[in-house]
Chains A and B, each alone.
Chain A
Amino acid sequence: MTGDALTPQHGPGTDATPDQNPDTPRPSGDAPIEAASETYSHMVWRLFKSNRIAMLGLTILGLMYILAVFAPFIANRFPFIWRAVPKPDTTLNQTDLDTLAGIMSPEQLQSLRAHTGNTETDSTHNAVPVTVFPLFTQFIEPKETIDRVFNLMAVFWFGMMFYLPIMALHKKRILLSWTVKRHAIVSLVATGAVLIAGLTFRGPDFSAYDNTPQSAPFDRFFNVAVLTGILLLIYPILKAGEWKNRLRAWTLPRHLSAISILVAGLLIAGYGHAPVRDTGFNKLNALQKYEVHLFDLFGFFWIIMTLYHLKRIPRFAARLKTWSFGMHSGLSAVAAIILALVAGTTQTSRHFRADRWFTISKAGKMDAMSYYDMYTNDPFYKNDPNTFALFTPIKYGPLEDRTLEKLQPPLITGNAIKSVKRVNPADTRRRLLGTDDRGRDVAARMLYGTRISLSIGFVAVGIATFIGLIVGSLAGYYGGWLDIMISRIIEIVICFPTFFLILTIIAVLNPSLFNIMIIIGFTSWTGIARLVRGEILKLRRQDFVIAARALGLPNSRIIFRHILPNALGPVFVSVSFGVAGAILTESGLSFLGIGVPSPAPTWGEALRQAQQNIDKAWWLVTFPGIAIFLTVTAFNLVGDGLRDAMDPRLKR
């Protein structure tokens, strides 16, 4: 780990790794005395960091997270395309074709006509594609939300790179291990690359699910802009250090003023220039119209809130100072607004959106002709100096099924490649981890499966924690008949073999990604509830609670502000193990064929196929299992590390 060298130096008494001499347990007062100068969270983190195995688990999780976030950049059947001249939409009408005849060679034109499958005008495909900011709509389409969330994270990451150099200008140390200068250079380069890529490459629709041309493209420009704004909002809070200060930072006008005007401006600017305004607003359905209105309203609300906050600063000079204080955010605000404007006003608004670089109306054609074939072997693209396609390392999507190429062995078995059947003989691509029984790429599916597993783990456990915290604290704090009732309910749910309950619920509900999350969440809260109840029972009689009650504080405040924060430690540990359990449950369900519905690339589903082809495909048996195992182990390691760090006396 890079952080190892930076671990704070402390006395020899605590520096010794506990594994070396646990036979002579350290006096339990040792750590607290040392910790007197540091906060509890810092102490936990220091102890956690000194535990190498736990850090290994954390590293694995970090890598998993990175893989999940950047999955579309690693495995994608769509290339990133450089196009100097606007590539014609293949749903062109005759007028467009005539226009193109002026800039294209006859061969190219011929090839284009061949690809569209027909030369006559197909009026159904002539509608101008309507783009709506997809963030909101997608929450209504559960199938793709997870991908959207992870894509937003990817963009967030890029936004980070965009913001960091500006921070570096202010000579602020951003990461402990990096010098400011080096960081500034790297992130400037990265930012430049992202900007150039964003403006010139027409990327794919980053979705694990089928990339039909009709699906709304992921509009990176708005997302970069808006997310930069959100980032600016969050960043000062993260910089503020302790949680106490972070919470205060939310309410400081100086942070809100500059930044929220920026965000509001971005929202409105982005939407003002969105093509829905001038072309297709009336073509939207009611829901999408609401969405646009909602975002407008949100923007205006934000501006009003900002003005209100500014008004709370007494002197005009102070208000100005506010701006200069937030100059770093102001600078990047300007840049972000420009970016948003550029994205909204230039060529993008018309042809970038209308330009679907792959819109073949005859869907059947796609099976025979892959995108890869198209961009590498087709004369139209191959000989076109203006078109350049850059493929990701794994050139297959998670849902791209080629039944002819089913059960191909992975790359490392080398010799078997010769006997492999191919849809297109000229296609020389190799499968890194083989294919499954529908000819889908295992590596791509496993990558996208990371997204599903991680999100199910976190969301399900989030739900469980939420319920458990509330129920447990109610039972523990109030006691009496409420406690008895809740304890009985918990006992009932514990007696219930959870897996069977989940089965029953799934049988009557439709198993979708979100239903699975909710079901796992609603059936696994009992452990946390019990834990919290016990902790609160312990804390309830302590002096600080009695003092709080003597002050006349309401019960809700005593519970949530005084008791719960002190009871949270074990909950974190339990969450870490809970995520591992939820991932196991989900893959078990998918293994039985009742998890996330079929086309979704889950690890459990891959193992299901392994069971069906158990004598034929060792790669289906091995790799998904390793993925599940690694993730679960990593979460368990982190949980163990956290537990040891939170209560060093437990360590043996």
Chain B
Amino acid sequence: MGAYVIKRLLLTIPMMIGITLITFLVIALGPSKSPEEGLNQNARQADRKSTSRRTPRMRKVFGKDYPNNSLLNQYGNWVSNAVRGNFGESLVDGLPVIDKIKAALPVTLFFNVLTIVMVYLLSIPLGIFSSTHRQSKLDKVITFVLYLLYSLPTFWVAILLIRYVGSRSTGLGWFPYNGIHPEGYEYMTTVANYLGSVKYIVLPVICMVYGSFAGLSRYTRSAMIDVVNQDYIRTARAKGVSETVVIYKHALRNALIPLVTLLGGLLPGLIGGSVIIEQIFGIPGMGRMGYKAVMDKDLTLIMTTTTFIALLTMIGILLSDLLYAVVDPRISFEGNAT
């Protein structure tokens, strides 16, 4: 187990190099070097105005003779700086990148962890319910609704929620939908601030939860049905074990195994999806910052954001792998770690 963790952790190094290298090369080799070909007006203006300001900022992380050294040298300099914790300054406003990340990462982390916890808390009971009430009318309704939820585009749901639940003029006006802090939060106590924020995070969390929730519930249901059809369940029932024990002790524990592995698969999708959600709801998280960085061609910020997002994803996947071993004692990672 310990050896596996170490091996796995060592494996993240080439993967991080691969991911950052791809990002770096995509930006460095991208054809639209000239400001005219830039994507949006902001980037163009930023390019024109700050070319003079950008180069010295780039030099701090990409090498002293930045525009003239080779790509490999630039990348090498970036890596050696990044390893020492020096991610440089944002090309746009000159603020240290790491400060920006420090502000944004907790927000995204909070939303993602909350989402994952809620997804699992909601979908496992629902999956168990519909597998035990298989082919009942309620199960069919649940399956149908989950199917619809599964195909609903997130941004559409977000807009619908804003219009019909969030908006005061056209909807119920229950929840505010802009930002995550209540008005005047600078002057509030911490507790009041957190309590006030609860209202703000309802809509975005709904948007983030429902898609994965639908997928996971369907998966739970099929995993449960798979297990319930096994011989040992029949044996347990034949022994006269009560149905509750059969379901919750014999079946559920085995059905959990495939569900745990799904955790790793959920993460990249969640983080990718949070770009749109954070953009719509004005949440100052990693997705929104990354989007803005990409639009501004803020190379240092893009590199750092990508690094951290990839790191986050990999930690998630690693965790799910380890959980796999915890949930299923039969699995040992020795010998077949790759």
Would you call B22 and A496 a contact (CB within 8 A)?
yes
Would you call B134 an interface residue if the criterion is a C-beta within 8 Å of the partner chain's C-beta atoms? yes
Q: Taking CB as reference atom, which chain B residue is nearest A622?
A: B160
Would you call B337 an interface residue if the criterion is a C-beta within 8 Å of the partner chain's C-beta atoms? no
Q: For residue B220, give the distance in angstroms from its CB to the closest CB of chain A.
A: 13
Would you call B86 an interface residue if the criterion is a C-beta within 8 Å of the partner chain's C-beta atoms? no
Q: Residues on A close to B: CB < 8 A?
A: 19, 22-23, 25, 484, 487-489, 491-492, 494-501, 503-511, 580, 584, 587-588, 591-594, 604, 607, 610-611, 614-615, 618, 621, 624-625, 628-629, 632-633, 636, 652
Q: Taking CB as reference atom, which chain B residue is nearest A19?
A: B135
CA distance A507 to B294 in the complex (A): 6
CB < 8 Å neighbour of A500 from B14, B154, B162, B275: B275
Q: Taking CB as reference atom, which chain B residue is nearest A585?
A: B272
Besides A496-B19, A497-B271, A509-B30, 15 other A-B contacts (C-beta < 8 A): A492-B19, A492-B22, A495-B314, A496-B310, A500-B287, A501-B26, A505-B30, A507-B43, A509-B31, A587-B153, A594-B39, A604-B155, A607-B156, A611-B280, A625-B159
Q: Evaluate whether A629 and B152 lie within 8 angstroms (CB atoms) in the complex, with A22-B135, A500-B309 already known.
A: yes
CB < 8 Å neighbour of B27 from A22, A492, A504, A625: A504
Closest 9 CB pairs of A and B: A508-B30, A499-B272, A625-B156, A633-B151, A492-B18, A497-B272, A507-B294, A632-B151, A497-B271
B287 contacts which chain A residues (CB < 8 A)? 500
Q: Residues on B close to A: CB < 8 A?
A: 14-15, 18-19, 22-23, 26-27, 30-32, 37, 39-40, 43, 134-135, 147-148, 150-156, 159-160, 162-163, 167, 169-170, 222, 225, 229, 268-269, 271-273, 275-276, 279-280, 287, 290-291, 294-295, 297, 302, 305-306, 309-310, 313-314, 317, 338
Would you call A614 and B167 a contact (CB within 8 A)?
yes
CA distance A503 to B291 in the complex (A): 7
Q: Evaluate whether A592 and B276 lie within 8 angstroms (CB atoms) in the complex, with A503-B290, A510-B37, A584-B153 already known.
A: yes
Would you call A497 and B309 a contact (CB within 8 A)?
yes
Q: For residue A629, give the distance in angstroms from its CB to the closest CB of chain B.
A: 6
Q: Taking CB as reference atom, which chain A residue is nearest B273?
A: A499
Would you call A504 and B37 a contact (CB within 8 A)?
no
B294 contacts which chain A residues (CB < 8 A)? 503-504, 506-507
Interface of A is mostly: helix
Q: For residue A353, give the distance in angstroms from its CB to the closest CB of chain B.
A: 37
B271 contacts which chain A residues (CB < 8 A)? 497, 500
Would you call B155 and A621 a contact (CB within 8 A)?
no
Q: For residue A468, give the distance in angstroms from its CB to the closest CB of chain B.
A: 17
Q: For residue A53, give the distance in angstroms from its CB to the closest CB of chain B.
A: 9
B273 contacts which chain A residues (CB < 8 A)? 499
Q: Max chain A CB contacts within 10 Å: which of B153, B160, B310?
A: B153
Q: For residue A28, give the distance in angstroms from its CB to the closest CB of chain B.
A: 12
A628 contacts which chain B residues (CB < 8 A)? 153, 156
Would you call A491 and B156 a contact (CB within 8 A)?
no
Would you call B31 and A591 a contact (CB within 8 A)?
no
Q: Taking CB as reference atom, which chain A residue is nearest B226?
A: A652
B147 contacts which chain A residues (CB < 8 A)? 633, 636
Cβ contacts A to B, 21 pairs, < 8 Å: A19-B135, A487-B338, A488-B18, A489-B18, A495-B19, A495-B314, A496-B268, A497-B271, A499-B273, A507-B30, A508-B26, A508-B31, A510-B31, A511-B39, A588-B154, A593-B40, A615-B169, A625-B153, A628-B156, A629-B148, A632-B153
B291 contacts which chain A residues (CB < 8 A)? 503, 592
CA distance A594 to B275 in the complex (A): 13
Q: Taking CB as reference atom, which chain A residue is nearest B229?
A: A25
Would you call A508 and B156 a contact (CB within 8 A)?
no
A495 contacts which chain B residues (CB < 8 A)? 15, 19, 268, 310, 313-314, 317
A494 contacts which chain B residues (CB < 8 A)? 268
CA distance A506 to B135 in the complex (A): 46
Q: Max chain A CB contacts within 10 Å: which of B26, B151, B225?
A: B151
Q: For residue A496, give the distance in angstroms from its CB to the closest CB of chain B.
A: 6
CA distance A377 to B32 in the complex (A): 49
A588 contacts which chain B residues (CB < 8 A)? 153-155, 276
B26 contacts which chain A residues (CB < 8 A)? 501, 504-505, 508
Would you call A610 and B151 a contact (CB within 8 A)?
no
Q: Evaluate whether A484 and B338 lie within 8 angstroms (CB atoms) in the complex, with A607-B156, A615-B163 already known.
A: yes
B302 contacts which chain A residues (CB < 8 A)? 504
Q: For residue B129, give the distance in angstroms from its CB to the closest CB of chain A.
A: 16
CA distance A477 to B294 in the complex (A): 39
CA distance A618 to B19 in the complex (A): 42
CA distance A203 to B280 in the complex (A): 43
CA distance A40 to B43 in the complex (A): 55
Q: For residue B225, give the distance in angstroms from its CB to the closest CB of chain A.
A: 5
CA distance A388 to B302 in the complex (A): 59
Q: Evaluate whether A23 and B134 lie within 8 angstroms (CB atoms) in the complex, with A497-B271, A592-B276, A607-B155 already known.
A: yes
CB < 8 Å neighbour of B150 from A497, A615, A636: A636
A607 contacts which chain B residues (CB < 8 A)? 155-156, 159
